[in-house]
Amino acid sequence: MPPKKKWKEPSPQSSSEATDNTQQLSLEELYTKALKVLARRAFSTRELEQKLQHACSDSPTVERVIERLKTSGYLDDRKFAEAFIQSRLRHKAQGRSRIERDLRCRGLNPRLIREELEKAYPAEAETEPLQNALERRLRSLAPPMDAKKVSRLYNHLLRRGFPGEAIRQELRRRLKMELDLDQVE
């Protein structure tokens, strides 16, 4: 049996030297870094700002880079929200409340979130993603559906962001059984 690897000691670089490295980034270097970060995936303005703050502790420089990215069209919270909502609808089958919560966590303006959700995902259109999520989950469950499985299914759909009443109606319709789903919560 080969010997275990020993823990490697950190380099003797002091914390003040590490801070100096982050402060030495110029405007162009920080802009280039931001473009590389955005090339990997989309970010909201707040997320990117936080990421750049780790690289450069000079707030005015970070703000100028953010403004430059916005002006050149590389950073737009509205486009980010549209793409995020479409992605979640297509690939994750999530409810409005879950998408809204995730967008708020990413630092988007609540009014912007509501506007984009109304355009891309009206409240009336929530039944189709709910049906898709339910269908996907039912395929993985074994046939005898008892109250415990229904309860797990209900809680799974709640975590996906669907409203409780819509879940209960869809479960009653799909499973064709009258369970007391009010106690399932």
pLDDT tens string 124-176: 777 888 888 888 888 888 777 888 888 989 999 999 989 989 899 888 888 77
Q: Would the pLDDT of 55 be above 90?
A: no
DSSP letter for 144, please: -
> Could you tell me the pLDDT band of residue 76, with boundaries at 50, 70 and 90?
very high
> Could you tell me the pLDDT band of residue 113, with boundaries at 50, 70 and 90?
very high
Contacts within 8 Å (CB) and 24+ apart, 1-5 = none
As given in the structure block, the two tokens for residue 142 are 């074994």
Q: What is the pLDDT of residue 120?
A: 85
Q: What is the pLDDT of residue 141?
A: 81
* Residue tagged 């007391």 (tokens): 180
In 3D, which of 78, 102, 76, 77 has the Cα closest to residue 89? 102
Residue of 18 and 150 predicted with greater confidence: 150
- Taking a C-beta distance cutoff of 8 angstroms, is the pair 55, 30 a contact? yes
Distance, CA of 119 to CA of 49 (rounded, Å): 27
> Could you tell me the pLDDT band of residue 2, with boundaries at 50, 70 and 90?
low
Domain map of the chain by residue range?
21-72, 77-121, 126-175
Mean of pLDDT values over 74-100: 89
pTM for the structure as a whole: 0.71
